[in-house]
Amino acid sequence: GGVMIGDVEGHDTDAAAVMGQLRIVLRAYVLEGHTPGTAMARASAFLRDLATERFATCTYAEADLNTGMLRLVRAGHLDPVVRRGDGSCHRVQVAGGLPLGLPPREPPSGTGCGYPVTSMELHPGDTLLLCTDGLVERPGGDLEAGIREFMDAACQGPADVEELADVLCDLVGDAGGGDDMALLVLRRRGTAAPRGGGPLRQRLVPGDTEGPAQARHLIRAAAAAWGARERADEIELAADELMTNALVHTDGGGQVGMRLTAEGRIRVEVEDSSSALPRRREADDWAVSGRGLMLVDRLADGWGVEPRGSGKCVWCEFTVPAAG
């Protein structure tokens, strides 16, 4: 699932209306299958096309509830804060782009969209804190000092999520400057990484290097969460070979997925629109990176090809070590 926090320039009803529109269009772009960075870039273009001169800051976080993996995109907004399960706090340095609605520094070219994605893992018991500057900025005060006060309160605050939110919101008190305030608190429950979990899926678009890179991060985190941390390198490498082959040899891209089978194996699947079946050949004869299916064959405990509609699915499986 995805969550977002934002702040539109101004404090009137028009600003609230613009924020509502941005929330809707960003969600729509994500549901269409765009990566978080591309969705943010399109939301910025949407705001530029509106009959308004307002800009907005925003952070969007896409969370995999099974693995705790987060993908964050920041548009001129404050960096998030993470409170660990042991109560310690730190700021997460999220690569950022310009606030939404501002002209891009340079015309987008290639796969660059101006909004890089930062991946991180939220461990069981960790809490992600996102806020607007109205919660940490004081009239005549230093923003950094306000952020430090916010982090100190988060570290010393209660364990309960709702009670923690109340404590952080009460920081403003009578010293607030009348700016809009918003706080988003996201906690990963549990005390241990889950052995099970739902499927993981990522769209693959021709010419986009961001999607496969994000998929590799998610696959690695899922492998660890599903009890195969020592095989994460093998799983990531095999998945990368299958993804690369799909992007190189088809025009329509595809989709990569990963799930636990009923037999307890980790299964990586890459679907594409081509009905041509790959064959295992010598590395320098087949090709995408000089390793191809020969490498997949050596890394995985099994692999194969299945027809899917007008296309196909190439899969590979890995045995998960027994728990305990």
Residues 207-261: pLDDT tens digits? 777 778 888 888 888 888 888 889 999 999 999 999 988 888 777 778 898 988 8
- Pairwise CA distance, residues 302 & 316, whole Å: 6
Tens digits of per-residue pLDDT, 171-202? 876 555 566 789 999 998 764 444 455 567 78
φ and ψ at residue 93, rounded to 5 degrees: -80, 105
Give the H or E element holding residue 14.
helix 13-31
Beta-sheet strands, E only, within the chain: 2-8, 56-63, 69-75, 81-83, 89-91, 96-97, 118-121, 127-131, 183-187, 200-204, 254-260, 265-272, 302-308, 311-319
Q: Which pLDDT tens digits describe the chain residue by residue (324 residues)? A: 789 999 998 877 888 889 999 999 999 998 888 888 889 999 999 999 987 888 999 999 998 776 788 889 999 999 999 999 888 999 998 988 999 999 887 644 444 578 888 888 888 889 999 999 989 987 777 889 999 999 999 999 998 999 999 999 998 765 555 667 899 999 987 644 444 555 677 888 887 777 788 888 888 888 888 888 899 999 999 999 999 888 887 777 788 989 888 788 899 999 887 766 665 554 444 444 445 788 899 999 999 988 877 788 899 999 987 654
Which of 312, 288, 208, 306 has its CA nearest to residue 240?
Answer: 288
The sheet with strand 183-187 has its strands ordered as: 89-91, 81-83, 127-131, 183-187
Q: Are 316 and 300 in contact (CB under 8 A)?
A: yes
Whole-number Å distance between alpha carbons of 302 and 297:
7
- List, as one string, the DSSP characters of 275-307: -PPP----HHHH-SSS-HHHHHHHHSSEEEEEE
Domains, in order of start, for the chain = 2-187 (3.60.40.10), 200-319 (3.30.565.10)
Nearest to 213 by CA among 244, 167, 176: 244
According to DSSP, the β-strands at 96-97 and 69-75 are: parallel
d(CA 65, CA 43): 25
- Smallest CA-to-CA distance from 218 within 205, 235, 230, 206 is with 235
